[in-house]
A and B are shown apart, each in its own frame.
Chain A
Amino acid sequence: MDYWDIKEVVREMIPRQNVLVPVTSEGGFRKGRRAGYKEYKLFPQGWNEYKRELGGMKSAFEVSCKAAGCPSPLNLDVWDGKVCYFNCNYCFANHFRSTLYENFFDRVPDGLRHVDLGEFERELGDLMSARFQSALEKMSPEKRAIALRIPIRLGVRFENFLPQEKRDGISLHVLRLLAKYHYPVIIDTKSILLAEDEYLEAMASNPGGVVVQLSLSSANPKLLKAMEPGAPSPAERFEAARRLNEAGIRAVLRVEPFLPFLADSRSEMGEYASRAKEAGVEWMCWDSFSYSTASAVTRRLFQEARLDFDRMFLAASDSRMMTGILLYGMMENFRSLGFRCSTYDDMNSHLNEDTLCCNVTGALSGYRMNYGSTKAAEAFIHSRQGPTGWADYNTHVMKNGGFLSEELREEMWKLWNHDGNAAYGMGWLSVVPSGRDEHGLKWAPAEKNPNLERGLEVIRGN
């Protein structure tokens, strides 16, 4: 059963919407003010003005709030802004920032800011001092991550290689600093700036290794122009991937978001695969449409581009079952064409061809993963023959440097016991409950992911 067999069934379950007239945007003013406004919060003493003046960036580093699900959660963003000029209509950050940073960016003409390099160097030096230490208990989560040599990920929260970067060279300087520390780096980007000589040299000089994940959901320039109007074209991104690979920097193509019905035809994906091959790409990352991006604004932007947001979103995000089986089908298709595929999606992560879902095997040196995460727990349970309890897993994590924070340990314990955020629970992975002990559930490895198998049974009509 290949992807298009699966889609034949899915298309009969999730229909396409007809509109009466095209959805268009209108200018003009609306009720309410967006500039110079004041916001108040109610305290027991009365209303207090609430200011969101951010000032300088306090830290460019952050352990992701989704660390419980992520094996490489150490984020670094040296650029930040209200608006990214790539202007992707599915970006969760633009809409979030436009409200959060309103006051701050009232005073910043181009809407972008970056770290102060002097302060950044001091912070990086302090963090890097943790590399050879073993007493992690009193360290911040970020320092623990450095001590454990978890790769630094640039670009999870903002694009660090916009045209302003070419002018100012902030990220370039940061890449050179990280090379001095021999620290492994993963970069998420849509920019082609990294294919320029000075960036290639900065990355190639890092003995810890650098992997560049070039985000590219489709090879269709017309579709991407509608969805990512300011980003480089597919042709430019394929060419950047070729230059990176030729320079010995692994370019991973990142199909995130994967877009069923919008970018999944046999001919289009065939073209994607052949152009990726021409660019020397071997590794690919896949993931679904971010659930948290499903705001009315995002939906409207898709509709203004005459794209059926609801059909895509229901298939590629809202229904975990549909998302899992569609991703499975498309990744199997690309695997059959010789690509090595990995995903963050829990229903498919047991099939990953990489220890992290970021596709870094063989490209980074001396790195470790966040063992205190559900995916690491899944791998640990599979490495054992019998049922695994929390105590065994906890010992395993402690032997590997421990959890990145006490909060993360508590979150993981909840997820282990079917509590906490259900979207990231152990129950989505290729493990099954196999008993209880004094710490809660015990888990055993499943030969196949039970959720994926159930989804495929639905598709088969059983």
Chain B
Amino acid sequence: MDAEGINILLVEDEPAHARLIQRAFEFRTGRWNLTVAGTLTEARAYLAESAPELLITDLVLPDGKGTELFPIDKEGCSFPIVLMTCHGDEQVAVEALKAGATDYVVKSEVTMSRMLRIAERALCQWEDIAKRKRAEKALRQAHDELEERVEQRTSVLAATNRELRLEIADRIAAEEAARRSEDRFTKAFHASPIGLAISTIDEGRFVDVNDVLLRTIGYTRDEVVGRTKARLGVWSTPEDRIQVVRKLKAGEGPEWRHDTLLRTKSGEVRQCVLSVELIDIEGGEYLLSMVDDVTERRQAQQALKQSEERLAGIVDAMIDCMFILNEDYKITWANEFARKTFGEDLVGKTCYRALGRREEPCERCPATMSFANGEVHDNEIETIGVNEKPLILWCTASPVARHDDGRPKTVVLVCRDITQWIEAQETLRQSERLGSLGTLAAGIAHEINNPVGAALLAAETALIVKDNPDEDVRFERCLNNIVTSLDRCGRIVRNMLKFARDEPAEKQPCQISDVISQSRDLVRAYAQRHKTTIRLALDRDLPRVVIGWLDMELVLTNLLHNAIKASADGGQVVVRAELADAGVRISIEDNGCGMTDEQKKHAFDPFHTNWQAHDGTGLGLGITYGIVQDHRGTIELASAPGKGTTMTITLPACEDLVGTSTGLEQHDGEDSGH
């Protein structure tokens, strides 16, 4: 074999075909060394010796198929193979190409005579394939190296990567947290019940505002965002903002709860509480302003404060003592006047100790009654003030706070100092007494004139009979008459002086019938002038009553006067005295004009009179009431307009029924006259 030529193994069993193909290579002899094998066996023997540069083989051979020569490892094949097939074996050719053939030709004279070209093409193709294979190999090598390097690098990287992944996870978590926090901030920002604004520090340009703030200042979001505060003029006093920003910048911390005024779009000025803080948003520093609109709250507070001040003013201006008591009678609050009257340290003390200096509640304490039944009660309480002065208080207790079941928890106790009022009433009573003296003067004049006249007559009679021995008895009777009459004068005068000086009436057991008769006598002239008759219906054998004669006479003459005055001409006043449960009941009934409910309500008021002028005794029923009370009695009034009036006095019977003489002596004689 020529080493310089290209060795070709041709496997062709048909010698004519072999020659035709040999001829195609001949005129290029030197370059091609063509070896012909007629069978597979010869071809295998050649191939076992050396590898050709090209194998051209017929498909159909005497001992098998040309394709059997194809190496099993397609890639491992070191030479190109051209398969020759007969016409109609194209399918086989395609299989052959797949099995590793480089090319195929359909056997014909033309193709065989042009085999050189086919061989050249196959070699060319093979060369391309070889190049590609080399390149692939180099590439594979390079790739392998790279792989190795990459693997090394990858293991390093993997470690780094793990660390990195952890870092990334952390970072993602942080970012998630940040995102959530930002979310939360956004939500909080818009849901906040107070106004919030984010603005730039230097310019005060609004970056965002929430709806609450927009409502407060009356702008829309578009009107606000991007504008500066100064431009909008929401700061009623721009210096405030400058001041605040300066402080924040100086690191003096957030500015909390700073009172400021904001101007709304409509020009209204709102009272706001402003807090300002620096916040960091996406790396930038901004001002977060928190604006709490307190205008209404302040107004309400102001109104409340004013109302409280007014109330406190009233309560402290009161000249009544005012306390709030809890159920233990402990004072929980006292007004200024109370502290002035009873000392500063009232709160915590019991009212009975603080006011009454007692160890237990006062006897007729209205607070006790109020706590018991939850109603308003009042009563007169005697006590001692801070300057050791005795005080008479008119105390009214009314429930303030209650338990669930309605029982009072606390009561307010209002105590009016009626000491002076009572003194004034006493003075008035005295002046009334003096006034009534004048009114009674006519009656008293009669009282005195009668015994004086009797004494005078008796004395003159005595002078007439003194020398007549037959008239001894008459003479003595005259002297006795004089003594009795003058004694009576003296008694009348003494009583009158006592009465005028308002000395406490001397009380003694009396027959009430005597006082009634005497009083009737005193008003008889008055009754006559009013053409009114007075009828007495007095039970005999009534128990005696302990009374101040003149006081009771005053009461009865007063009531009789009123009855007469109320009666029309021809009227009748009936005075009855009868046995009552534990004493004597005296009623004075007239058939006069009567009283309305309103008049009745005020009848016992101390300063009240139903008459235009004090033309009677001038004594109000109030004083009458006082005298009757002083006698431990009661007085009642029954009246209706047009139905007349009945006053009923009940006096307790005298406990000591033994001994003492009855009232004034002259009445014994008069009773016998009827």
A binds B: no
B residues with a Cβ closer than 8 A to A are: none
